[in-house]
Amino acid sequence: MLRCFALFIIFGCVNKVTCLQSSCGAEQEGAAPQGAAGCGCGNLNRAAVDPAVEHGTVSVDSAVKYSKGANERPPEAQGGERTMQSQMVLISGGEFLMGTDNPGFPADGEGPQRVVHVDSFNMDIQEVTNRQFQSFVNATGYVTEAEKFGDSFVFEGLLTDTVKNQITQAVAAAPWWLPVKGAHWRHPEGPDSNIADRPDHPVLHVSWADAVAYCSWANKRLPTEAEWEYACRGGLKDRLYPWGNKLNPNGQHYANIWQGDFPGHNSGEDGYIKTSPVMSFPANGFGLYDMVGNAWEWTSDWWNVHHTTDRQHNPKGPPSGTDKVKKGGSYMCHKSYCYRYRCAARSQNTPDSSASNLGFRCVSQEQQ
């Protein structure tokens, strides 16, 4: 079954920029992709449903295990599960300039630049990994939305011919995204793939609700967009990237993105054509890794492109919406079509979307 995989992960990357693909002409950009026809977001939006309850194959008992209340038990009772958790760093609260007045994509609502205050919080230093997600699933029996739907979106360049040949549908505006039956976090490129050799890579094919379920099981939560962006900037003011304004200072790569021509050729000059193990590139000033690149990261905010310039205190985004904000770009981002590996950049997906370049990390206000 195909759901409303956002026009946005797609248009988010092809809209308003030169489209390199001849099959992706301007006249097609506005067309609803096959399968996302009419984008039946209303019917298919599962955001309002408690993930613990919605996942019918999960027993009530195991659903309770990843509810917040159930985690209010002594740390020792969590045993090995807890040691599996990501290390966190304290991000001291403060004021920062959120967004930019020189947006790469004005329609994304990257601007205007505005003063925002966020309180102190702890943040996972890394994206949640396959191993960590496995420990959550082991402990709770959680079943992800992609597993329930029976498919997820995979970048064509990663698929074997066997899998590709079974697919007849594609997304017109972004033909490199293919809905693959049986693709989910354990089988990132479909049934003939697995994660055995990438336990420390970011978990992929997780929906927003899946990410929320993981974080609340870990007694954490998703970051707000403001927290995420404050953290991304690592204490630097008005810079493009977590480390400054130069993409490759001293010729060094600071993030896992795409080198070469998208979507035909990825030279892997940074060492990786797919995801990399978390923490393979230098940390930012706050000790956070892969804030841009590797996997996109879900935030808790609903999507909206209009922002007040009034000074904001712990903004949490609009009260409702149809899409959630994701930040940081991924290993698929190249300046030519998806210049979104910047702290101010943002994109969106419906909460039930999942794909081979979208993951998350958690934050917490608790003492660590």
As measured in angstroms, the least distance from the Cβ of 214 to ligand NAG is 13
Side-chain-side CA neighbours of residue 357 (13 Å)? 32
Query: Which tokens go with 300?
Result: 């808790």
Distance CA 345, CA 353 (A): 19
DSSP string, 131-172: HHHHHHHHHH----HHHHHTEEEEEGGG--HHHHHT-----T
- Is 138 a binder of ligand NAG (CB under 6 A)? yes
- Is 86 a binder of ligand NAG (CB under 6 A)? no
- Is 336 a binder of ligand NAG (CB under 6 A)? no
Q: Residue 294's binding partner, choosing from Ca ion, ligand NAG, none, with beta-carbon cut-off 5 to 8 A by kind?
A: Ca ion
The residue (of 131 and 148) whose beta carbon lies closer to ligand NAG is 131
Query: Which tokens go with 295?
Result: 């996997």
Contact predicate 120/366, CB 8 Å: no
- Is 62 a binder of ligand NAG (CB under 6 A)? no
The enclosing H or E element of 41 equals: helix 41-44
Contact predicate 281/253, CB 8 Å: yes
Of positions 104, 234, 242, 328, contacts Ca ion by CB under 5 A: 328
- Is 194 a binder of ligand NAG (CB under 6 A)? no
The residue (of 86 and 135) whose beta carbon lies closer to ligand NAG is 135
Q: Both ends of the chain: CA-CA distance in Å?
A: 41
Of positions 117, 131, 148, 181, contacts ligand NAG by CB under 6 A: 131
As measured in angstroms, the least distance from the Cβ of 350 to Ca ion is 20
- Is 272 a binder of Ca ion (CB under 5 A)? yes
Distance CA 16, CA 10 (A): 12
- Is 134 a binder of ligand NAG (CB under 6 A)? yes
Of positions 151, 210, 227, 270, contacts Ca ion by CB under 5 A: 270
Binding region for ligand NAG (CB under 6 A): 131, 134-135, 138
Interface ranges with Ca ion (CB under 5 A): 256, 270, 272, 290, 294-295, 328, 331
